[in-house]
Structure 1
Amino acid sequence: MSIRQYWFVLWELTKRELKRKYARSFLGILWSCVYPLMRMALVVVLFSTIFNKGIDKYPAYYFVGFLMFEFFATATQTSLTTLKDNRNLLIKSKLPRELFVLSRVLTAFVNFLLGCIPFALVLACYRTPITINYYMIPVVLLLLLIFTTGVSYAVSIWFVFQRDAGNIYSNFIFILRFFVAMFYSIDWVAAGVRWVIEHNPVYLYIYILRQCVVYGQRPEWMYVRNGIIWAAGMFVVGILIFKRYENDVVERL
């Protein structure tokens, strides 16, 4: 398969996933903009008296964490079952199997980009200036996308061989949500918990984007370097696991 054919098939699979996602939704694709805005409003109302006084631009601070974590969680959780969900196509066609996983990741990424529209409105409300540090936005988003793709490849194979993986991973995501400093400041937690959060790759990407977009500051090189290492390392591990076991997938499904 040529590169052009590869991208065409990937685009068609992604469009299919998007149509499936919004097929029974009244608001359709608009929901991807409305939902994160509603979540942000709810959290701000509930926690403003607790957190708002200690975190500058709290709604924007929360919005970044929510959007990026939801992308990671949605992409990896939907990728978990993608090989099982596409069993018939896997058997009948000779399409590269990694395309099915990648289409789920890109579908979640499209939803993330749509969620960035109301986020931009929140930034506008704060009159947040556009700074030179905005150049880091595509960099950190690309790193998060690569990291998430690697995790997605690994968990899709895991589910085929371990059907309890769905429940295990759902609980893992639920716990992970509290270790990305989404709605609180990392400075407020104990040293041990802070160490765990700072070594959480999802938090690294959230922190970098917050610094660049919300506060207009250049993120420390340590975070950028670690983000690159995590993205490259996880992608290599994920694709190696996927290629190692992809031929056994059909027999296991």
Structure 2
Amino acid sequence: MSIRQYWFVLWELTKRELKRKYARSFLGILWSCVYPLMRMALVVVLFSTIFNKGIEKYPAYYFVGFLMFEFFATATQTSLTTLKDNRNLLIKSKLPRELFVLSRVLTAFVNFLLGCIPFAAVVAWYRARVTWYYLMIPVVLLLLLIFTVGMSYAVSIWFVFQRDAMNIYSNFIFILRFFVAMFYSVEWVADGVKWVIQHNPLYAYIYVMRQCVVYGQWPETMYLVQMVAWAFGMLAFGILIFKKYENDVVERL
């Protein structure tokens, strides 16, 4: 099968995932726009009196963190069970197993892009100045996508060999949510916690996007290096794990 045919199959698998996700939803795919906007409104109402005075453009600040973290969390959590969910196709077809993981990641990425529509409206509300730093947007998103693909490869194999992986990973994501400075400033926490957050790969992507889009500033070099290193390091790790154990997948399922 040619590379072009693989792309066609990947897109068909992604469309199938999107249809499955919104099959019973009244709003359908529009929910991807409405849900993050509702979450932002709720958080802003709840925390505006606490955080708003200390964080400039707080709704946009929160929105960036929420959208990017939710993309990563959704992509990796749905990828966790993708090999099990597609067991029959894995057995009956000769399609590369990576395609099933990639379709889950791509589905989450489409939802993320839809969520960026109301985010753009929030940024416009604050009359954020459009600068050349906006050119960093596709770079940050591509690196985040690469990082997420690598993580998704690894966790999909992990679930095949360890069925408790779902519970373990769900709790990991829950805890991780509080270490990306989504709704608070990293400057407000103790030095030890601050160090952990600043070396959290997800925080690097969120921070750079905030600086470039919300505040129109160039981020520190440390975070740019982290983005690249984490993206390709995790992709290499994910591919290594996936290739090492993919032949044992069917037997384990």
Normalising TM by the smaller chain, what interval? over 0.9
Matches of 1:125 and 1:4 in 2, distance apart?
A: 41
Q: Which residue is 1:28 aligned to?
A: 28
Matches of 1:93 and 1:161 in 2, distance apart?
A: 22
Name the SS for the 2:218 alignment partner: coil
* CA displacement at 1:93 relative to structure 2: 0.3
Matches of 1:45 and 1:226 in 2, distance apart?
A: 33
TM-score, length of structure 1 as denominator length = 1.00
Q: Which residue is 1:248 aligned to?
A: 248
Identity %: 86
Q: Which residue is 1:17 aligned to?
A: 17
Q: Which residue is 2:136 aligned to?
A: 136
Partner amino acid, structure 1, of 2:46: L
TM-score, length of structure 2 as denominator length = 1.00
Q: Which residue is 1:151 aligned to?
A: 151
Partner amino acid, structure 1, of 2:150: G
* CA displacement at 1:226 relative to structure 2: 1.1
Name the SS for the 1:127 alignment partner: coil
* CA displacement at 1:30 relative to structure 2: 0.4
Partner amino acid, structure 2, of 1:235: L
* CA displacement at 1:222 relative to structure 2: 1.5
Matches of 2:28 and 2:239 in 1, distance apart?
A: 33
* CA displacement at 1:218 relative to structure 2: 1.0
Matches of 1:218 and 1:187 in 2, distance apart?
A: 18
Q: Which residue is 2:64 aligned to?
A: 64
RMSD: 0.4
Listed one character per residue, the Cα deviations across residues 94-140 of structure 1 (whole Å, up to 9, x for unaligned) are: 00000000000000000000000000000111011110100100000
The runs of at least 4 consecutive aligned structure 1 residues that moved more than 3 Å come to none
Matches of 1:104 and 1:220 in 2, distance apart?
A: 32
Q: Which residue is 1:183 aligned to?
A: 183
Partner amino acid, structure 2, of 1:242: F
Partner amino acid, structure 1, of 2:219: P
Partner amino acid, structure 2, of 1:110: V
Matches of 1:98 and 1:3 in 2, distance apart?
A: 13
Matches of 1:160 and 1:42 in 2, distance apart?
A: 37
Q: How do residues 1-253 of structure 1 correspond to structure 2 at under 5 angstroms?
A: 1-253=1-253
Matches of 1:177 and 1:220 in 2, distance apart?
A: 23
Partner amino acid, structure 1, of 2:218: R
Matches of 2:239 and 2:158 in 1, distance apart?
A: 13
Name the SS for the 1:192 alignment partner: helix
* CA displacement at 1:225 relative to structure 2: 1.0
* CA displacement at 1:15 relative to structure 2: 0.6
Matches of 2:227 and 2:171 in 1, distance apart?
A: 24
In structure 2, runs of 5+ residues without a counterpart are none
Matches of 1:123 and 1:142 in 2, distance apart?
A: 21
